[in-house]
Amino acid sequence: MTTRREELISLALLLALTLAMFGDVLFAVGTRVVGFQISDLFLQFLSWRDFGFRELAKGNLALWNPHIFSGAPYFGAMQAALLYPPNWLFLILPLSAAVNWTTALHVFAIGAFMFCWMRVRGLHVMASFLAGYLVMFCGAHFLHIFAGHLPHLIAMAWAPLIFCAIDGLFETRNFRWCFVGMFAVAMQILAGFPQHVFYTAIIAGLYSALRLIGNWNWSLAGSLLGIYPGGAALSAVQLLAANQTMRETVRGTPLPFEFASVLPFPPENFITLFVPNFFGEAAGYWAYAALSFSLRFCSRLQQIPERLEIHFFCFALSYSPCCRRPRSIAEAKKNGIQIYSGCSSVGCVLGHRWVVDERDRFLAIADGGAHVRTLCRVVGCG
């Protein structure tokens, strides 16, 4: 009884945090909407929600949007999310209020679902509360509000409930958790952002497979395999319409490998796992610009031996501070960053060697020294 009371108090606190964050727009009179003014919310989703639910209020399920270009698919584009039940707030509330309440509702929902998932995993109430609080206001989730990514917020909210259903099946062997998972998958599909459905499905599949390694059970495996087909069946009216729409648009055209591999994941990007903005913000991302310019420049040079000597000399000069014993922990960290950046840069050049001709491959590798030098200057190590 005490545990149930603590759980209810924790959920009430998560709700109180949500109201404290959004109370000024939820209960204020006016047309204020959370988010940045020049964002997807203001440029797209406000107009889409206004059009779609205004038509739905008249009894029309809007399949076609006549207001852009010469008309475009609306319901089949998925981001309209007309069949997503929480979006029916747009039928009874003014547009701005509906957006604010939808945002606040799903911020609370992702925290509550995370809390429930952690409790199913056996964590203490306080630990579960902290997990819910962190996922509500973490950068990967909360900053989508600023960017106006309404479908992202809505779809992300259901991921913890899917994993809660998976762990519930493992812990209790109760088939009702399978229905919970189907419901969560269906809601995530109807939320209107299929990319998050795809990402969640990949991780949920890997997570389930890893847990099944030491807990194999045919009934359990069948229940896990039924979650996503069941969710797809519940939301089939949206999926089938989207499938037909995508086949008639540019997104239905297969991409050639040459185009899809233009922007691969280079090895130096692993450093952003620990320092997200190491190479700068998206608007001023300097790493690829410097590398691309140097590769294009060097690929047109004919004096390869001279260039090799220059770049290897600069490469050695950049690493000269690392040759002596570090005098402090801070200097050791600085040298470590410099060495890691250099190795990553060389790996980047090796991974992008198709940018230059085969005869200039050694020149591209040597130019890694110039790229390392640029890296070292930026991080203050050169």
Position 380 scores a pLDDT of 41
Bridge partners, 72 (sequence order): 65
Position 251 scores a pLDDT of 73
Query: Of all helices (H) and strands (E), which one includes residue 268?
Result: none
Residue type, 105: L
Give the residue-averaged pLDDT of 181-207: 95
pLDDT at 355 over 50: no
For the chain, domain boundaries: 2-252, 267-378
pLDDT at 285 over 70: no
**Rounded alpha-carbon distances, angstroms, from residue 254 to 189, 246, 265:** 23, 11, 20
Position 360 scores a pLDDT of 37
Higher pLDDT, 162 or 287: 162
**Sign of the dihedral defined by the CA atoms of residues 53, 57, 59, 65, in that order:** negative
Are the C-beta atoms of 89 and 101 separated by less than 8 Å? yes
Higher pLDDT, 193 or 334: 193
- What are all long-range contacts of 300-309, with beta carbons under 8 Å and residues at least 24 apart? 301/363, 304/360, 304/362, 304/363, 307/363, 307/366, 307/367, 308/362, 308/363, 308/366
pLDDT at 319 over 50: no
Position 88 scores a pLDDT of 93
Which region among 46-50, 103-107, 322-326, 331-335 has the lowest average model confidence (pLDDT)? 322-326
pLDDT at 288 over 60: no
The pLDDT confidence band at residue 2, using thresholds 50, 70 and 90, is: low
Nearest to 149 by CA among 85, 196, 203, 95: 196
370/59 Cα distance (integer angstroms): 64
pLDDT digits 0-9 by tens, 69-97: 888 889 998 889 999 999 999 999 999 99
Give the residue-averaged pLDDT of 30-58: 89
Position 329 scores a pLDDT of 58
In the numeric block, the tokens 């005869």 are attached to 359
Percentage of the chain exceeding pLDDT 70: 72
Position 376 scores a pLDDT of 39
Position 337 scores a pLDDT of 53
Percentage of the chain exceeding pLDDT 90: 49
The pLDDT confidence band at residue 280, using thresholds 50, 70 and 90, is: confident
Give the residue-averaged pLDDT of 188-195: 94
| DSSP letter, residue 291 | H
268/151 Cα distance (integer angstroms): 31
The pLDDT confidence band at residue 326, using thresholds 50, 70 and 90, is: low
The pLDDT confidence band at residue 193, using thresholds 50, 70 and 90, is: very high
pLDDT digits 0-9 by tens, 212-270: 998 888 889 999 999 999 999 999 999 999 998 888 877 777 888 888 777 667 777 77
Does the predicted TM-score (pTM) go above 0.75?
Answer: no
The pLDDT confidence band at residue 283, using thresholds 50, 70 and 90, is: low
The CA-CA-CA angle for residues 242, 245, 247, to 5°, reads: 110
Mean pLDDT of the chain: 78
Nearest to 64 by CA among 49, 52, 54: 52
pLDDT at 119 over 60: yes
